[in-house]
Amino acid sequence: MDDELNALRRTRMRWNTPLSEAHAELLLDRMALEAGQHLVDLGCGWGELLLRALARTPGLRATGVDTDLTGLDRGRAAARERGVAVDFAESDAATWAVPAERAFCIGAAHIFGSTEAALEGLTRVVPSGRLLYGDGFWAAPPNAAAEEIFGPDTLTLPDLLDVARAAGWRVLHFSTADQLEWDDFESTSRAGWQEWVAAHPADPRAAEVRDWLDGRLGQYVRDYRGVLGFTYLVLGR
């Protein structure tokens, strides 16, 4: 897909994770955010959860880190519109070395190479404080197609919690995405392109986009709906 279409794909997504508004508020509560703390979001995308944290806790110092220029530009525009100060940094989250009292790392373990590497590396970012960590896990035994999509390093939830503790984290809170959150996430991940195809049915790129949309929906309902879970851990050190 070209840059124009890639920029449109996630435009209907609130954030790039299966998470409801109410669930997000619960997680922010558990992070115990306070004015004066530095909060860094590693693999932030467009940083919507970071912006929500700022809105409810004025006085936070906020940094979003990613290499996705489209996402960073969207985040900067949203911050300007809402009148909040966020430093959106184009940088590799896996090598970020500025310590903070609070951090988010949601759906970004692949940047570090694995869940184990992410949870170990994040101890250097949060030497003392709290981390909101989000990651996929096998909620049910996967078929071969799901294993191929998500890779051999995906863990079960008990194993993921064990890895967190082995890296020196205390599990202060955990919760998992429910089916409605997953279905909404998958639907909104397709909605930007669904709208584009409906508005441009004769565009030469429309057939390729329709094929991708149909393939993504098929993979979801056939291969990993109810099989891949997603957990949110509030971890402390």
- CATH number for the domain spanning 98: value is 3.40.50.150
Only one residue has tokens 């570090």, namely 112
CB contact at 8 A, 51 and 78: yes
| Distance in angstroms (rounded) separating the CA atoms of residues 184 and 229 | 14
Only one residue has tokens 């429910």, namely 178
In a domain, 129, yes or no: yes
Number of folded domains that form the chain: 1
Instruction: Label residue 4 by pLDDT band (50, 70, 90).
Output: confident
For residue 136, what are the domain limits?
Answer: 14-177+228-236
Query: What's the confidence (pLDDT) of residue 218?
Result: 97
Return all residues near 92 (Cβ < 8 A) that are at least 6 apart.
67, 111
Instruction: Label residue 7 by pLDDT band (50, 70, 90).
Output: confident
Query: What's the confidence (pLDDT) of residue 232?
Result: 98
In a domain, 134, yes or no: yes
Query: What's the confidence (pLDDT) of residue 109?
Result: 96
Classify the phi-psi angles of 2: left when phi > 0, otherwise alpha if psi is within -120 to 50, otherwise beta: beta
| Distance in angstroms (rounded) separating the CA atoms of residues 119 and 161 | 10
Only one residue has tokens 């709208």, namely 195
In a domain, 172, yes or no: yes
Give the tens place of pLDDT for each residue, 93-140. 999 989 999 999 999 999 999 999 999 999 999 999 999 999 999 999
Quick one: three-class SS letters along the chain? CCHHHHHHHCCCCCCCCCCCHHHHHHHHHHCCCCCCCEEEEECCCCCHHHHHHHHHCCCCEEEEEECCHHHHHHHHHHHHHHCCCCEEEECCHHHCCCCCCEEEEECCHHHHCCHHHHHHHHHHHCCCCEEEEEEEEECCCCCHHHHHHHCCCCCEHHHHHHHHHHCCCEEEEEEECCHHHHHHHHHHHHHHHHHHHHHCCCCCCHHHHHHHHHHHHHHHHHHHCCCEEEEEEEEEC
In a domain, 205, yes or no: no
Q: What is the mean pLDDT of the chain?
A: 96
In a domain, 70, yes or no: yes
In a domain, 142, yes or no: yes
Q: Which residue has the higher pLDDT, 70 or 1?
A: 70
Query: What's the confidence (pLDDT) of residue 3?
Result: 77
In a domain, 183, yes or no: no
Instruction: Label residue 170 by pLDDT band (50, 70, 90).
Output: very high
Nearest to 45 by CA among 18, 70, 12: 70
| Distance in angstroms (rounded) separating the CA atoms of residues 191 and 27 | 26
Enter the tokens of residue 186: 């998958």
Give the tens place of pLDDT for each residue, 24-75. 999 999 999 999 999 999 999 999 999 999 999 999 999 999 999 999 999 9
Instruction: Label residue 6 by pLDDT band (50, 70, 90).
Output: confident
Query: What's the confidence (pLDDT) of residue 203?
Result: 95
Query: What's the confidence (pLDDT) of residue 2?
Result: 77
pTM: 0.96
